[in-house]
Amino acid sequence: MYKSCLNRPKTRWAGVVILAGLFLFSCKTSKKVTVTKDMKTRLDNLLATVPDFSGVLLVADQGKIVYHKAWGYRSFETKESMDTASVFELASVSKQFTALTIMQMKEAGKLSFDDPIDKYLPGLPYTGVTIRHLLTHTSGLPDYQEIMDKYWNKTKVAGNTDNIAYLIQYHPPRLFEPGEKYAYSNTGYMLLASITEKVSGQDFITFCRTRFFGPAQMTQTDIRTVAEKKQLPNLAAGHIYVKEKQQYVPADSFPQFNYAIWLGNRKGPGRVSSTSADLLKWDRILYSGKIVKPETLLEAFSPTRLNDDSLSWYGFGWKIRQSKKGKVVWHNGDNPGYATQFERYIDADKTIILLSNNAHPKIPDILQSVEAIVEE
C-alpha cells in the first residue's frame, strides 16, 4: 500500500535470505503474461471515478505494458491534455539513482558501505556516521534545508558544497545516535551525491547520465534545473488546488515552491524528471545485472538492522514490503504539485508506475486499489 511499511513487525533474516534472493535473481522462470479485459476495465473505472485526477498510470507484467493511460492536463491553464509521454518531476523517487551511484563505487572497490563519511567529506561535525547510515536513513543527521532556509541568502542558488559548508559552520545538533532508528533524511542523500563526486571524480549529474540514463536509453530522463524543465514541450507542470479559487494553480506560484529555486543546484535527494515509459526501461535494466550485480541489488532490497536488533524496512533508496505476490520494493515522491510512486514486485516481476502533477488527495486510495488489482 501507499503508506510506509517501515514499522512492520520484526522478522528473522540472515544469510539464508541473501542466498534465497540470489536464487530468485538467477533462476527466475518465464511466466505467461495474462491480461484480462476485466483488469483494464477495472483500472479505467477506477481512475474515471476520481474527479480532477491528473497524471499517468502504467502497469506492466514481466516488462510488457498491460495498462498505460493518461488523464487530466499538462497545464490546467492552457488545458493542454496529458499524454503518456509527459515528463514529471520524480521528487524522492530519484533517491534510487543516488543510492546506485554509491553501489557502483562499492563494486569498483572505491569505497565500503561501512566507511565513515568524514573519510570523504572532512570537516563535518558528526562522528560515527557511515555511508550505510546515509543510505538507510539511520544517520540521525539534521535537515540541511532547515539550516539553509534560516541562514542562506535566497537571492543566490545553493548547491551541495554550500549545504555542507553551512552544516559545518552552524553545526545543528544531530537528531539521534547513528543506527538508533529510521528517520527519513534528505541530508543523507545530498551527502551521498557529494561522496560519489569525490570518489568518482565526476560530476554527479554527468555520472547519472553516462551510467544510468544513457545505458537504459531513458531519452526523456535527466536531472534538470527549473529553467530547463520549463523549456520541455512535454512537461507535466505541477499544480496545487486552491479552495478559495476552486481551481488548480501552478505550484511555482506558491512560496513553498521557492526552495526549488534557491536550492536549485542540490544533488542527490531529488531533481530527476522522467516519463512512465522511461521508468519502465529502468525497471527492466535493473533485472539485467548491467547496472550493479544481483547480489549488490539484493542488499539494497533488504531491511536494515538497527542498533537494538530491530528492523527498519528501508534498504538503499527503496522501501520494502511483502505482498500476496512476494517482495515489493517501492518509493514515493512528493514535491509541490507532484505525487509519484514506483513499485517493483521483484518476485512476481510486475510494475506499477503512477505519476501525478496535481498531487491529488486520493492518490493513496488509487494506489491501494491498483495494488489490489495487480496482486489478484
Please confirm, yes or no, whether 200 is among the known catalytic residues: no
Query: Computed over its alpha carbons, how large is the radius of gyration of the chain?
Result: 20
- Please state, in angstroms and rounded to a whole number, the distance separating the CA atoms of residues 122 and 2: 38
Q: How far is residue 357 from each of residues 111, 130, 278, 365, measured CA to CA in Å?
A: 38, 36, 17, 16
Closest to 129 measured CA to CA, from 193, 166, 177, 198: 177
| Side chain identity at residue 362, one-letter code | K
127, 295 in Cβ contact below 8 A? no
CA distance linking residue 308 with residue 179, whole number of Å: 9
C-alpha cell read off for 259: 526552495
- State how far the Cα of 130 lies from the Cα of 184, in Å rounded to an integer: 16
Alpha-carbon distance values, 359 to 193, 237, 340 (Å): 27, 11, 8
Distance CA 275, CA 338 (A): 13
Please identify which of the residues 54, 75, 92, 274 carries the catalytic annotation. Answer: 92
Task: Kindly list the catalytic residues.
Answer: 92
